[in-house]
Structure 1
Amino acid sequence: MHAPPSPSGTERADGPAVRIGALVPLTRPGWAEAGRHLLAGLELAAREVNDAGGIAGRPLELVVRDTAADPQKAAAAVDELARLGVAAVAGEYHSVVARAAAARADALGLPFLCSSAVLDALTEQPTEWVARLAPAQSHGWRIYADFLLRAGHSRIAVAADPSVYWASGTRILRDHLAPRGGTVIELDMRALTPAAVCGELLGSRATALLLLVGHPEPAVPIVTAVRRDRRLADVMIGAPAGQPEFAEWARLLGDDGAAIPFLRYLPGRLGPLGARVEAALRERLGEAPSFVAFEGYDTIVVLADVLRSHGADRERTAGSWPLVAVEGTRGRIRFSRMPGIGVRQWAWAPVQVVDRDPAEPDRFRILHSG
């Protein structure tokens, strides 16, 4: 996918554009709905930057590349964007894809601000070239584990696809729950059909089933199978990775998609900036914006501030991560070093456990905050 026209407002700025590469999953097997929300946030913020005069009088231009959830495609896109002279790379939703992009950006000396991927090990070694807005998986998933314990669930089954991300999530849950009396039972989705999951659940005596799988397949068929099995009426279904956040979930599952707790990264109440951006994103998307759209918007807010203050030089951009102090839609953003995480990290974006209200599936209920 090639770059869209420069966002409106560029006529107010002079000189060559300051270009930012934007990595987003826009086609299958990527989670295209998440990519659409991420891109909406990136584009809205870029438009507002240009309406305010750009970057020191120069227009800001997004050069968009579709990763399609393919790590190799993402790495190749970073190579291309570096050759095109972008000042920085932004975006990405899928953790394994962001990891490939981060490794390539680090090797090339190209600043990368990761918007939405949460895998702790975003890079193999500490780097100054990469920063991240989304909270690390270990932070959010421990909060989710605390929610499970508070809700009375200590015997938890996880239906897991094979991937570094899902394996990391399983490990985080087990390490946090085991010292507190919890047990994690793994169900390998390479060997089980959705119907077979029901039988495994009955045998495991688990009171909660977590979906550590892709969307819509096999997450939607698993939910349907469990919801329709009367023997499992008391089993809670959870989705810490956030599958129920998006409207497609409700369209595909209807009432069956409600009361499935998941993680999202929003405060209990948005401030003035967040409320204004929410309204603008809703108009742009034609539906309620997800937390991913806010992550996209905040990404450009940070990069615009850095580029205005330190210019478009890549080394100075990377060196400025520790100096960032920017008001975003979800709070004040600063980057720091966190134990076990090799990139500069916003510690932390607000974390909620929410679900869709069974009485009104388009409405979200906040169940727990961390």
Structure 2
Amino acid sequence: MTETEGRETVRIGVLAPLTRPGWDEAGRHLLAGIEEGVREANGAGGADGRPLELLVRDTAADPDRAAAAVDELDRLGAVALAGEYHSVAARAAAARADALGLPFLCSSAVLDALTDSPAHGVARLAPPQSRGWRAYGDFLLGAGHRHLAVAAQPSVYWAAGTRLLRDHLAPHGGTVTVLDVPALGPGGVCDALAGSDATALLLLAGHPEPAVPIVRAVRRDPRLAGTLVGAPAGQPEFASWAELLGTDGAAVPFLRYLPDRLGPLGTRVERALRARLGAAPSFVAFEGYDTIAVLADLLRAHGADRAAVARAWPDTDTEGTRGRIRLARTPGTGLWQWPEPPVQVADRDPADPARFRVLHTG
């Protein structure tokens, strides 16, 4: 959509990682969902009597770039912000948006501490990391894995995930060993894993580098034939994972935020997203669509006014693709949160890597 002058549109700023080092594939899915949501909203009359217009900015997963984009979107008259996938970029955007009084509905970033203090204008649809990763920990325990190794890169997000897993497994006698990916490389990760008591290796690392080379190395190491490889952050959800790894990328459990079965709205939107993307939509695309569905409802009900939108978070009651969306204050997060997004642990079927299997819900 184009950026037009004047007041004839209601402007929504969009933040997404569309270039490297951001996870650009996730960003494209997020943007596709947002664009489809706006297409449908405008087909139904827009909001406040005017069409919605998207002002899209690429964060490339860079927090400074995200904060600068918020400043620019504020100057351009956006009434709300939507999107972002990476937690580090979303944190920077949330802090700046709240300081400016610009409502921000975060689509996908899951870090619990998305804001350092309670934020009046920040809300989120994705579940907090603590909920999703505890569900992943339950799956691991149920499958008999109590001693884990994590192939980790330095990151606030990866460090938080490591702490969550360690705290969740400790009461069950579980342990988590951190393997420093930058220092070890794929071969060193295999050596360290073979010398440990870990029965599972979790990839807390970027995709495709260094996650893909690590998976290849582990799959080809006879010492590690019985080792589970997992990717809680969701890397195997995307088509590039299967394209790069083939059957090596199957049977790698990951988190995604979809229900066991889509309802009528989700099914209709899935078809539209598939046509828009030319591929099966990921859960991130549905998060993007649902973000616009919520904002459009609030704008219709309360007008294109920033303060009114921020005050209206607790009034949210929107039919989303993955369930009814209502927002509430969630202890420990400091923001408005959808408390009930669906959480799955899934993997790609070794017999057909294009097909997903649901292994656990939580």
- How do residues 55-70 of structure 1 correspond to structure 2 at under 5 angstroms? 55-70=47-62
**Contact 2:48–2:304 (CA under 8 A) maintained in structure 1:** no
Letter in 2 for 1:87: V
Match of 2:258 in 1: 266
Match of 2:88 in 1: 96
User: Which one of 192, 201, 204 corresponds to residue 200 of structure 1?
Assistant: 192
Match of 2:227 in 1: 235
**Contact 2:252–2:347 (CA under 8 A) maintained in structure 1:** yes
Aligned equivalents of 2:3, 2:119: Cα separation in 1: 31
User: Which one of 168, 173, 176 corresponds to residue 176 of structure 1?
Assistant: 168
TM-aligned CA distance change 1:216 to 1:349, over 3 Å: same
Letter in 1 for 2:2: P
**Contact 2:16–2:30 (CA under 8 A) maintained in structure 1:** yes
Aligned equivalents of 1:55, 1:321: Cα separation in 2: 16
Aligned equivalents of 1:91, 1:368: Cα separation in 2: 27
**Contact 1:298–1:329 (CA under 8 A) maintained in structure 2:** yes
Match of 1:158 in 2: 150
Letter in 1 for 2:81: V
Secondary structure (helix, strand or coil) at the match of 2:195 reads helix
User: Which one of 206, 212, 216 corresponds to residue 224 of structure 1?
Assistant: 216
Does residue 290 in structure 1 map to residue 282 in structure 2? yes
User: Which one of 2, 5, 11 corresponds to residue 5 of structure 1?
Assistant: 2
Question: How far apart are 1:203 and its partner, in Å?
Answer: 1.1
Aligned equivalents of 1:53, 1:153: Cα separation in 2: 52
TM (normalized to structure 2)? Answer: 0.98
Aligned equivalents of 1:277, 1:333: Cα separation in 2: 16
User: Which one of 166, 169, 181 corresponds to residue 189 of structure 1?
Assistant: 181
Aligned equivalents of 1:295, 1:99: Cα separation in 2: 18
**Contact 1:133–1:346 (CA under 8 A) maintained in structure 2:** yes
Any idea what the Cα deviations from partners look like across 1:175-212, whole Å, max 9, x if unmatched? 11101221111111131110010110011121000000
Match of 2:347 in 1: 355
Q: Which runs of 5+ in 2 are unaligned?
A: none
TM (normalized to structure 1)? Answer: 0.96
Aligned equivalents of 2:226, 2:265: Cα separation in 1: 41
**Contact 1:15–1:59 (CA under 8 A) maintained in structure 2:** no
Question: How far apart are 1:15 and its partner, in Å?
Answer: 6.5
Any idea what the Cα deviations from partners look like across 1:103-139, whole Å, max 9, x if unmatched? 1001111100000000000000001110000000000
User: Which one of 3, 8, 25 corresponds to residue 16 of structure 1?
Assistant: 8
Aligned equivalents of 1:295, 1:38: Cα separation in 2: 7
Question: How far apart are 1:234 and its partner, in Å?
Answer: 0.1
Match of 1:246 in 2: 238
Does residue 115 in structure 1 map to residue 107 in structure 2? yes
Secondary structure (helix, strand or coil) at the match of 2:280 reads coil
Identity percentage over the alignment? 73
Any idea what the Cα deviations from partners look like across 1:340-367, whole Å, max 9, x if unmatched? 1111000020000000000000000000
Q: Which runs of 5+ in 1 are unaligned?
A: 8-13
Question: Which stretches of structure 1, 4 residues or longer, exceed 4 Å deviation after superposition?
Answer: none
